[in-house]
Amino acid sequence: MKVVIVGGVAGGATAAARIRRLDEQAEIVVFERSGYISYANCGLPYYIGDVITERSALTLQTPESFFNRFRVTMKIRHEVMAIHPERKTVSVKNLETGDEFEESYDKLLLSPGAKPTQPRLPGVGLDKVFTLRTVEDTFRIKEFIQANQPKSAVLAGGGFIGLELAENLRELGMEVTIVQRPKQLMNPFDPDMASFIHNEMRKHGVKLALGHTVEGFEERNGGVDVLLKDEQPLHADLVVLAIGVTPDTGLAKEAGLELGIKGSILVNDRMETTVPDIYAVGDAVQVKHFVTGQDALISLAGPANKQGRIAADNICGGDSHYTGSQGSSVIKVFDMTAATTGINETNAKKAGFSVDTVILSPMSHAGYYPGGKVMTMKVVFEEETYRLLGAQIVGYEGVDKRIDVLATAIHAGMKATQLKELDLAYAPPYSSAKDPVNMAGFMVENIANGVLKQWHLEDASGLPRDGSVTLLDTRTVGEYSRGHIDGFTNIPVDELRERLGELDKSKPVYVICQSGLRSYIACRILAGNGFDCYNFSGGFRFYDAVMNDRCLIQSATACGMDQ
């Protein structure tokens, strides 16, 4: 059997190695148009920022090392120009010599990946306007920085690459601005959770120009003007386009393979395309979202590696199936870690789910052990069934650990109420006896049993201030004096039992505290005394962070808070 693979990196290189492990006699040829067949894509921004200092550290394998280990022929700087399914060949061009030839195959695997989205804007081709996707892109940006010592950079786009590059350029001492049309960074997160990411970026000096449309680029004064719709241009010495990626599927389209959303390659759960003996994996393929079951494009290294393995199994006569992508991801944002899995509240509602959420602010480990830091968790679940749909966490320690537990729970089909049952490792330096994941489960169970009723951030502006409801802040007098929501009366929770006479039992009570814990205790006190009580999800800390961020983005003056 002869297998031709188009494209290396995550999907193609993984498949090549797996095919060899399953079939020692197979002839395997990989064509890669770049100069690198297996490289650490996610490490590219960190090479630019001198966190990774050796070029060789980016290349996981070379053609020589791959051949020595697996006897796979890796032909770099070779571009497949056309696929001929009718005669089972591909046309290939040697990019160094210009020679063209045909290569036959019994099985063909496409792993072309995705390319940076290139908007059709004036000035995109300027020599100070870059994209970052390949090792070659990285070296170009690095060499430009070393040669020109730029003092400022504008990054168009606030996804993974944009944030990682912003951090690394700041660490090099540059002034950095992120500009994009959406009013939040990192779309896998809900806008409220993205507020914490925004705050961390601002804290480290990154300027955010959110909600602005880029209309082009012009050279001026030795740098580049980033032209914005209805705004003054942003000037910088260096511009990087990081507005997303587009499936690189021109070959597949010309060969007659059926395409899906955004021109991606349609595959079944065996990674087979609509043409016999042709498989496809990675960023170029359309997949099913594991949670929603809907068609999706999810450009992450983990899914690409799994798909490469599955395709290899099936090429070699096996029967492996891809169950879908869940979108689990984590990113370092200066000192902070932000992670997500499944779907967020915004996308859950768009997908037609009736959802609820719990928001909590647990410590990363036992409070009495030194060094613990607060994280913010948002867990999304389906109303009535309590099916776990997704989670987002931002914090400083222990975030990756918790998101992986929640990702596993989602994959296992657990209900959010079952999180309380998980038997998780505990020692004071690492966690609490009631782990944050367990705590989320306790909260959802309280909702399911009618012990906890919530009100949410989106309810805040609509709460009546006419005396028809009671608005109660149960923090200390000092906390209240440093900032509170307009219209809320302060009765510290430890004084509440003695001051119940100040409240009207006929009116619903909407309660808030700093994190949600004291207000929950207050609600239990009130409910036990005949009051109808609702606890704010997330606490004033959460409310304050989100509302301040919104005011900065919208340049609003009336924020609904007394400071």
Q: How far apart are CA 434 and CA 402, in angstroms?
A: 13
In the prediction, which pLDDT does 556 show?
A: 32
Q: Report the percentage of the chain scoring pLDDT > 70.
A: 98
What's the pLDDT band for 377 if we cut at 50, 70, 90? very high
pLDDT surpasses 90 at 562: no
461-478 per-position pLDDT tens digit: 999 999 999 999 999 999
What are the tens digits of pLDDT across the range 323-339? 999 999 999 999 999 99
Q: What is the pTM of this model?
A: 0.93
Q: Which of 42, 316, 523, 559 is catalytic?
A: 42
Token pair listed for 544? 């304050």
Average pLDDT over residues 20-31: 97
Contact (CB, 8 A) for 472 and 489: yes
Average pLDDT over residues 356-375: 94
pLDDT score of 557: 32
| More confidently predicted of 61 and 435 | 435
C-alpha span between 259 and 245 (Å, rounded): 17
Query: What's residue 79's pLDDT?
Result: 96
What is residue 559's predicted lDDT score, i.e. its pLDDT? 42
Per-residue pLDDT at 34: 87
Residue matched to tokens 């079951």: 293
Q: What is the mean pLDDT of residues 360-383?
A: 94
Closest CA to 74 of 128, 21, 121, 34: 34
Cα–Cα distance, 211 to 199 (Å, whole number): 16
User: 8 pLDDT band (50/70/90 cuts)?
Assistant: confident
Flag whether pLDDT at 560 surpasses 60. Answer: no
Cβ-in-10-Å burial (0-12, 13-18, 19+) of 553 comes to middle
User: How does 204-236 read in b/e, with b if 16+ C-beta sit within 10 Å?
Assistant: bebebbbebebbbbeeeeebbbbbbeeeebbbb
Residue 563 — pLDDT band, cuts 50, 70, 90?
very low
Whether 551 is a known active-site residue: answer no
| pLDDT band, very low/low/confident/very high, at 291 (cuts 50, 70, 90) | very high
DSSP code at position 20: H
What is the rounded average pLDDT of the residues 199-223? 95
Give pLDDT, residue 217. Answer: 95
* pLDDT tens, residue by residue, 236-288: 999 999 888 889 999 999 999 999 999 999 999 999 999 999 999 999 999 99
Q: Are 505 and 525 in contact (CB under 8 A)?
A: no
Q: What is the pLDDT of residue 555?
A: 66
Phi, psi of 401 (to 5 degrees): -60, -45
What angle, rounded to 10 degrees, do the helices at 160-171 and 191-203 form?
A: 20
Polymer length in residues for the chain: 563
pLDDT at 143 over 90: yes
Q: What is the mean pLDDT of residues 101-106?
A: 98
Instruction: Please report the DSSP string for 246-308 in residue order.
Output: EE--HHHHHTT--B-GGGPBP--TT-B-SSTTEEE-GGGB-EEBTTT--EE----HHHHHHHH
pLDDT reported for residue 554 = 81
Q: pLDDT tens-digit profile of 475-521? A: 999 999 999 999 999 999 999 999 999 999 999 999 999 999 999 99
